[in-house]
Amino acid sequence: MSRIFYRRGPGAPSVGGMSHDTDDIPYFPATAPAALADAATARGLIRPVLDDLALLVAAVGPEDLGRPTPCHDWDVATLHDHVLGWVDFFGAAFADPARRGERPDPVAFRAAQDPRDPADVVRAAADRLDAALEGGVLDGQVVVSQSRMDGPAAFGMVLGEYVVHGWDLATALGRPWAPPPASAEQAHAFFGGMIAPEYRGGPDGFFGAEVPVPDDASALDRLLGFAGRDPHWSAAPRDAVV
């Protein structure tokens, strides 16, 4: 999902080396639900998700790294690095929405090479997000990699990223994932207005085709289906022939 804002062309600069002039950064139009423009509501939606994510990334052991995940062609090691690299990036982005300073490169992040505890990476980012939300970041724009977005839309991207990728990682590990229903509902409402058809399928797609779910499915399952996940996905047994 976050890769939408990281598509590089030939010779494009890295995240850390991009221009600091926001006038040079294209605007990414995305409409967020009204609830995401309220700082108190936003803080209540994201904090429990990131608190649970911190526990989840800490549970990944060396024996888990080769496990498959619901993300096509990604094993747990790849997903773990993606989750941590981008949460570190988003924490820095919301703390410095105009990108006046340098930021970590989310694609270069490797948990095995980072001296921080994975849970601490998530908790530090959560603290920075929380402080930014309390400080009024939703009232302006946030530079997100190669695009700038209105604050509520940038926040919607973060919320959806971690509700869905939290489920991806938890499911790959065989662990529960139960974000607040309101968090899943608001992420779904945001994605519903943001995910264009060209973002689905094919080698350059960021989402698979929508997966139908029952009308009475939970808020999380409805979000997962919309994001191209099968809520009933499970890893094949290690000795299965596929």
Least confident interval from 19-28, 30-39, 152-161, 225-234: 19-28
Domain span holding position 53? 29-178
Mean pLDDT of all residues in 216-222 = 98
CA 165/CA 86 separation, integer angstroms: 11
Length of the chain: 242
Residue 66's contacts (CB-CB under 8 Å, 6 or more residues apart) are 75, 76, 77
The whole-number pLDDT of residue 70 equals: 95
Q: What predicted TM-score, i.e. pTM, was given to this entire model?
A: 0.88
| Residue 127's pLDDT band (cuts 50, 70, 90) | very high
Instruction: Give domain status of residue 232, yes or no.
Output: no
The whole-number pLDDT of residue 199 equals: 73
Instruction: Give domain status of residue 1, yes or no.
Output: no
Instruction: Give domain status of residue 190, yes or no.
Output: no
pLDDT in tens, 49-96: 999 999 999 999 999 999 999 998 899 999 999 999 999 999 999 999
Instruction: Give domain status of residue 111, yes or no.
Output: yes
Instruction: Give domain status of residue 167, yes or no.
Output: yes
When divided into structural domains, the chain yields a total of: 1
**Does 211 score more than 60 pLDDT?**
yes
Instruction: Give domain status of residue 240, yes or no.
Output: no
Instruction: Give domain status of residue 9, yes or no.
Output: no
Instruction: Give domain status of residue 189, yes or no.
Output: no
The angle subtended at Cα 36 by Cα 34 and Cα 42, nearest 5°, is 145
List the CATH number of the domain containing 172: 1.20.120.450
